[in-house]
Amino acid sequence: MADPARARRLAKRITTIVASAIEYEIKDPGLVGVTITDAKVTADLHDATVYYTVMGPTLDDEPDYAAAAAALERAKGVLRTKVGAGTGVRFTPTLTFTRDVTSDTVHRMDELLARARAADADLARVRVGAKPAGEADPYRDRGSADEPSDAGGLVIRTSDGLEAENTGDDYQAED
């Protein structure tokens, strides 16, 4: 088992080597628009999974994933040779190419967030004219406005006309 830090460094180096080889050295029309996004190496450094994305010829065109996968399969041997020469490890890892679906997940999350924002906007429009159920102030005293009530025994009126708070304890200081 190799050190995890070594595996990460090797994966990063494989990403760089494969991306450079696809862009500058391998002249396969099926690899046009292929971008290498990441690589993961197993703990024993014998297998590497290389993640890729594909862009269409224009922004409006759908990418050709099947052609890109076939082109990567055709170039797998050449790419593995370049990885072996560029990394200098004892065993050159076997390469497995997997389409990176992170961008698809991002688009799906954007759609869900847009749907949630639209639902919030609809709710805000409905809420503008809404009135609360029941009274506007349910804690308002129902007694007369000029005379404070007992309000659950918290306010008491003293003999000299002042209001005092009833704290609930019956202790009275003796003078």
Evaluate whether residue 16 is within a structural domain: yes
- Grouping H, G, I as helix, E, B as strand and the rest as coil, residue 97 is strand
Domain range enclosing 67 = 4-102
Domain count, the chain: 1
Quick one: average pLDDT of 57-84? 91
Distance CA 37, CA 44 (A): 22
Q: CA-to-CA distance for 48 and 19, rounded, in angstroms?
A: 14
pLDDT at 147: 52
What CATH number is given to the structural domain containing 92? 3.30.300.20
Task: Tell me what pLDDT residue 129 has.
Answer: 79
Kindly state whether residue 159 falls inside one of the protein's structural domains. Answer: no
Answer whether residue 137 is part of any domain.
no
- pLDDT mean over 14-39: 93
Global confidence as pTM: 0.64
Question: What is the 3-state composition of the chain as percent helix, strand, coil, each rounded to the nearest 5?
Answer: 45, 15, 40
In a domain, 49, yes or no: yes
Q: Is residue 83 part of a domain?
A: yes
Find residue 50's DSSP bridge partners.
39, 97
Give the confidence band of 131 by pLDDT, cuts at 50, 70, 90. confident
**Tens digit of pLDDT for each residue in 97-122?**
999 998 889 999 999 999 999 999 99
Alpha-carbon distance of 124 to 163, in angstroms, equals 44
Query: Residue 73 falls within a domain, yes or no?
Result: yes
Note whether residue 97 is domain-resident.
yes
Q: Is residue 115 assigned to a domain?
A: no
